[in-house]
Amino acid sequence: MNMLLNNLRELRNYPSAMAGILVVLALVAFSIYTLVTIPYDEAVTLWRGGENIWYRLPRNAPPAWINVFRRQKLPESIILNSAQGEAEKSTEAMSQGQQMVNLTFTFDFQADAFPDALALYFQPTYREKSPFVSAIWTTPDGREIRIGDFAVSTGTVFRFEQDDRLRRRLSREVGDYPAHVALFMQPDVEPPTPLKGTYTLHLSAVTFEEGSDLEAEFIAYGKVYGIAGTDHLRRDLRIALMWGAPVALAFGLLAALGTTLTTMVIAAFGVWFGSWVDDLIQRVTEVNLMLPLLPILIMVGTFYSRSIWLLLGVTILLSIFGGGIKTYRAIFLQIRESPYIEAAQAYGAGDIRIVFHYLVPRIIPVLIPQLVTLIPSYVFLEASLAVLGLGDPLLPTWGKVIQDAQSNGALYKGLYYWVLEPAGLLMVTGLGFAMVGFALDRVFNPRLREL
């Protein structure tokens, strides 16, 4: 044990090991933070949630910080909800129980590019007759553009780009552009350039019943979002990127621990008991080496379940009787001949005691570096399975983000952030563990050190 600690202390002489340890510690801290701030259930609900959770976010938007590196600033989303007091609201009573509800959304637009889309989400209250709304758009230079008149029932969504009458009207006034361009462009400037300044959207609604009311949410979808951006389903990638860390760590650590420890114990038993036990283990290992791990994992994932825990279990099962058995066996065979084992036997130590107290501890110097170097390969295995579409259906992971990006042609469409963010995190994780593992290998196997 003391030797172990001394060896670990020696790690300080390896800058790369220290960097690796820092990365690993940071990842652990990040994972704990994630688990605390976004509990499992919430992560699953959010990630599997559809349009009703994510409707406010733009589609395929890069992270907002890319604006720092751009001369032309891309717009962020503008979300104004009258129910939360983000619009001026006034109500006038009219005859026969009718009322006039006025909502004015005012916002400042300073970006160098057009928004991605415009939408109005209506939340009217009424019993039978739905309110009737007319909408007017005012640009910073004072032009007024009529958006349209429409009856709004519960759940009505007005998407500016999809309204034919609005498009015809706009093409007569400013030219044939989609609404989110036409409404923001400077008149008669080619190519279309956004006009900066204060815009207003005025809604005047007539309600026909006593107590009937109208709230609305105006969204000008931006072209960038948050610290991680969004994917094709408008989901905030931050959740998947954060949750990927604990999943990757847990999978890598459990798989590496599970395989190395069981492999080692099995090899020790085989060597100690010899004869048919050893033979059996050797034959099982040979059969197992003939089974291709990845195709079997693919079959299990396809036929049974894609749960990450099942795949973890199968991975461990298939890797127990892997190449490691033969390495450990060779070392154990040497140790078995040592005099101190003979001495232990003379003292009357039992088989189990000899295996666990005399054989196994001697192999720890080989084990620890192997364990650490194995972690990244399992982290990448999980990612590989996810990239193949065999990711856990519930949990968001880094591999799944890469898979989503791949299957939606992120690289073809130039949505590099979508691939680079999870890939970067994977790389950092893999490198962190690998650097520690390599340094450990040098510390524990002194023969390598002077080389």
Q: Which residues bind other proteins (CB under 8 A)?
A: 16, 20, 286-287, 289-296, 298-304, 319, 322-327, 330, 373-374, 376-378, 380-381, 383-384, 387-390, 402, 406, 411-412, 414, 416, 419-420, 423, 426-427, 430-431, 433-435, 437-438, 447-448, 451
Q: Which is nearer to other proteins, 218 or 251 (CB)?
A: 251
For residue 88, the cross-strand partners are 104
Task: Round to whole Å and give the CA distance between 277 and 59.
Answer: 59
Distance of closest approach, residue 25 Cβ to other proteins, in angstroms:
17
Counted residue by residue, the chain has a size of: 451
For residue 185, the cross-strand partners are 194
Which run of H or of E encompasses 262? helix 237-273
Q: Which is nearer to other proteins, 16 or 125 (CB)?
A: 16
Q: Which is nearer to other proteins, 129 or 413 (CB)?
A: 413
Distance of closest approach, residue 206 Cβ to other proteins, in angstroms:
53
- Tokens 């036997």, residue? 345
Q: Which is nearer to other proteins, 227 or 291 (CB)?
A: 291
293: Cβ–Cβ under 8 A, 6 or more apart, which residues? 315, 318, 319
CA distance to 74, 138, 276, 380, per residue, from 177 (Å): 19, 18, 80, 46
CB 214 within 8 A of CB 120: no
Distance of closest approach, residue 327 Cβ to other proteins, in angstroms:
5
Distance of closest approach, residue 434 Cβ to other proteins, in angstroms:
3
Task: Round to whole Å and give the CA distance between 403 and 256.
Answer: 24
CB 11 within 8 A of CB 440: yes
Q: Which is nearer to other proteins, 183 or 415 (CB)?
A: 415
Distance of closest approach, residue 214 Cβ to other proteins, in angstroms:
47
Distance of closest approach, residue 53 Cβ to other proteins, in angstroms:
27
Q: Which is nearer to other proteins, 29 or 291 (CB)?
A: 291
Which run of H or of E encompasses 147? strand 144-151
Residue 335 backbone dihedrals phi, psi, to 5 degrees: -60, -35
Q: Which is nearer to other proteins, 15 or 97 (CB)?
A: 15
Distance of closest approach, residue 426 Cβ to other proteins, in angstroms:
7
Q: Which is nearer to other proteins, 184 or 328 (CB)?
A: 328
114: Cβ–Cβ under 8 A, 6 or more apart, which residues? 75, 180, 181, 184, 185, 192, 194
Which is nearest to 178 in space by CA: 162, 194, 202? 162
Distance of closest approach, residue 262 Cβ to other proteins, in angstroms:
16
CB 218 within 8 A of CB 120: yes
